[in-house]
A and B are shown apart, each in its own frame.
Chain A
Amino acid sequence: MIEFNHVVKSYKVAEQDLIVLKNINLQITKGEFVAIMGPSGSGKSTMMNIIGCLDKPTSGQYLLNGKDISDYEDHELAKVRNRSVGFVFQQFQLLPRLNALQNVELPMIYAGIGKKQRMQRAEDALQKVDLADRLTHLPNEMSGGQKQRVAIARAIVNEPDIILADEPTGALDSKTGEQIMEMFTMLNKEGTSVILVTHEAEVASYAERTIFVRDGELTTAEEVVDQGTYKKLIQPETNSETPTDGEEEA
């Protein structure tokens, strides 16, 4: 479903090319639960942005559902984001003036769905994330976990092919984080592909497959995480201190 063929991404910074992704080849099939791991500045966020159609590769091919979107226009990319991708962010990114229901309605507004159907589907989506009793609450009246669940409802309401979650537990305590991760597992079981971007091995352990990125290249687990966290990654039940290999990259 997702295919990267020799994807390169570079930025011009002060007249110099800064290569963020170097020749990435990657395939993710439909229904997979994949974690993308890597330290700060590794290029994992850029990968996520390209997968989510927020950004385009400088060269190479990105096939989404068999279509090369590398040369899509802005409005075509917007449509792909609207229909095929559901974003979940570390900072929830709910619109503060809209209540839960209205926030979940947003993607459907841009999809041109009528008010009645929108209300119904938004309610269903919120029910799915156990927030049926919080429909009219504003984001600042909700806990972090509740906010993230609203964000998940918003991500799934247009029935996308992929849920793209960028450090979805980064702003939550570990218990709430676990609940959120279980929710992703459940959604994945229902058939939606889930792609996680994280630097936490514990979070990545929920995924069926982990892709490691370092310095813009795919690599093996050993090179990305130190031995301690790697151990934790392959044996998630052993509890050790949280990894400290960086925060969200700038």
Chain B
Amino acid sequence: MSILENIKMAFSSLLAHKMRSILTMLGIIIGVGSVITVVAIGQGGEAVLKSQFTGDSNTIELFYQPSDEEIEQDSGILFEDAFTSEDIHLIEDLPEVEKVVTTSSESADISYRRDNADSMVMGINQSYIDVQGMDIDRGRNLMASDFLGEGRVAVVSENVQEELFDDKEKDILGKIVYVGGQPVEVVGVMNSEDDLFGLSSSTFYIPINTWQSIFSKTSITEVSIKANNPDELQTAGEKATDMLNKVHETDEAYQVLNMEEIAEGIGKVTNIMTIIISSIAGVSLLVGGIGVMNIMLVSVTERTREIGVRMSLGATRGQIMFQFLIEAIALTMIGGLIGMGLGTSVALIVSSIAGWPPLISWPVIVGGILFSVFIGVVFGLLPANKASRLDPIDSLRYE
């Protein structure tokens, strides 16, 4: 008797009790569906979190963190003066380094006529534009001439408009705004960012020279490096910090902010979450499996006569066992497939609402279906075994 024959038989007997079959599958459907949903959402969220933290510009950030002893020796250490223009030139000269992105930031009072607001003012260099890019909605980006000539121009984030103007209709583009008491022309407005946390504050981007002259400071707050070869990013960062530590005669004060570690950390957290929720879903699968076993036991009892007839017609105990096992597996596998469809759709809907990349994980889908088959085998064995051990004579007489 072929497997195909068995499968056909299993389906016809499942179809004979549609409602019961569907209800029995429900536990498996929910279990598999939720595992797939949770993992897909978890992975999508993780990818978004990682890109939010690390960006996709393929850069590595340097930071200054003097040791406790160094702070003790020189209590006047200024963190914001950690990087000088000379430092930047030195880093730029390293062979592995393609570009050095610098930003200096200062919170400042912004005013236009009678309206004023607090805003972050970022002094950026040309490389910042080259590497990070700027998503300009209207107006223009900062240009090379602005950087060379200490241009009094600014690109602003979308929300500056709302914060500065009571009248939302007015366009900030082209207006002269006072930043830290000095006039700056708004030449460009950025697109509002898709921000996961909605924390983006209103920001002015102005050329670094302009920034230094407005705030009378030379400090550079943030430095990141883009390497010629993305694989050498870590090496380039380490070389730069080694050099800075040497130049500034510090021990380990200049360090590389390792994004890989941060990304790994995020991965760990989301993994733990995924495992926790998946195990809850796993419990649902287990309960679903017990439901399958229960219904299969009922089915064996109901079909005692059928089993007797089949045995009298020449079915071996093995064939009877196989028939019921296939039936249990068919139940859980169909449940698994429906659960997969359901889980995938829910994951797609959630990711499209949240604006995340839809990350349907094939290993999880295949694993989920295989696991539901496994559950069918495990929880089908007992009923199938019971069916195969029936006595044909008693079974034929069973009422």
Residues of A within 8 A of B (CB): 49, 52, 54-55, 74-75, 78-79, 81-83, 87, 89, 93-95, 97, 106-107, 109-112, 154, 158
Q: How far is the CB of A116 from chain B (nearest CB, A)?
A: 13
On whether the beta carbons of A110 and B1 are closer than 8 Å, the reply is yes
**Main secondary structure on chain B at its contact with chain A?**
helix
Partner of A75, one of B13, B306, B316: B316
Q: How far is the CB of B195 from chain A (nearest CB, A)?
A: 60
> Is B355 part of the contact surface with A, judged by Cβ < 8 Å?
no
Partner of A111, one of B2, B311, B314: B314
- Chain A residue nearest to B312 in the complex (CB): A87
> Is B249 part of the contact surface with A, judged by Cβ < 8 Å?
no
> Is B319 part of the contact surface with A, judged by Cβ < 8 Å?
yes
Interface residues of B, CB < 8 Å — how many?
23
Residues of B within 8 A of A (CB): 1-2, 5, 12-13, 16, 305-306, 308-319, 392-393, 396
On whether the beta carbons of A112 and B305 are closer than 8 Å, the reply is no
Alpha-carbon distance A79/B312, docked complex (angstroms): 10
On whether the beta carbons of A89 and B1 are closer than 8 Å, the reply is no
6 residue pairs from A and B, CB less than 8 Å apart:
A54-B312, A78-B316, A82-B313, A97-B12, A110-B310, A110-B314
Interface hub of B5, B313, B317 (most chain A Cβ within 10 A)? B313
Q: How far is the CB of B324 from chain A (nearest CB, A)?
A: 15
Q: Which residues on B sit within 8 Å (CB–CB) of A52?
A: 312
- Chain B residue nearest to A154 in the complex (CB): B313
On whether the beta carbons of A107 and B314 are closer than 8 Å, the reply is yes
Q: How far is the CB of A51 from chain B (nearest CB, A)?
A: 12
Q: Which residues on B sit within 8 Å (CB–CB) of A74?
A: 316-317
Alpha-carbon distance A93/B393, docked complex (angstroms): 12
On whether the beta carbons of B317 and A97 are closer than 8 Å, the reply is no
Q: How far is the CB of A84 from chain B (nearest CB, A)?
A: 10
Q: Which residues on B sit within 8 Å (CB–CB) of A83?
A: 314
On whether the beta carbons of A106 and B313 are closer than 8 Å, the reply is yes
Alpha-carbon distance A9/B393, docked complex (angstroms): 14
Query: Contacts A49-B393, A74-B317: A106 and B13 contacting too (C-beta < 8 A)?
Result: no
Q: Which residues on B sit within 8 Å (CB–CB) of A49?
A: 393
Partner of A95, one of B1, B306, B392: B306
Alpha-carbon distance A112/B311, docked complex (angstroms): 15
